[in-house]
Amino acid sequence: MPEPTQLSEDLLSEMYLFLEEVSEVNEDTEYDSSKEYLVDAIKQFVQDKALTSIQEDFQTPFVHPMITIQKWVEELKTAVKQALVENPR
């Protein structure tokens, strides 16, 4: 089993702000390719934290990762917020 990646507090904060934006407009969220690094970081975070239901949704063929993020945004916000609390500088 691979070792979980330690995400920086700055990246976790960026992820949380991104998730806040998504939750405010959810279905109206427009995909911005400049945020791809955050989508990738969220996917890695989900894998590292073994959030299996979300991880399975990310693996669904032909479904863009933003759909999964929109579906699980509240759970993702909670998990990222918890990671920020657990890993202060």
The verdict on residue 27 lying in a domain is: no
The verdict on residue 6 lying in a domain is: no
Number of structural domains in the chain: 1
The verdict on residue 30 lying in a domain is: no
The verdict on residue 29 lying in a domain is: no
- Judge residue 57's burial from the number of C-beta atoms within 10 Å of its C-beta, 0-12 exposed, 13-18 middle, 19 or more buried: middle
The verdict on residue 32 lying in a domain is: no
The verdict on residue 74 lying in a domain is: yes
Mean pLDDT, to the nearest integer, of 57-71?
A: 91
Distance between CA atoms of residues 26 and 19, nearest Å: 9
pLDDT in tens, 14-63: 999 999 999 888 666 677 889 999 999 999 999 999 999 999 999 999 88
> Which one, of 21, 22, 74, 80, lies nearest residue 46 by Cα?
80
With cut-offs at 50, 70 and 90, classify the pLDDT of residue 89.
Answer: low
Cα end-to-end distance, the chain, whole Å: 27
The verdict on residue 31 lying in a domain is: no
The verdict on residue 56 lying in a domain is: yes
Domain hosting residue 65, numbered range: 37-89
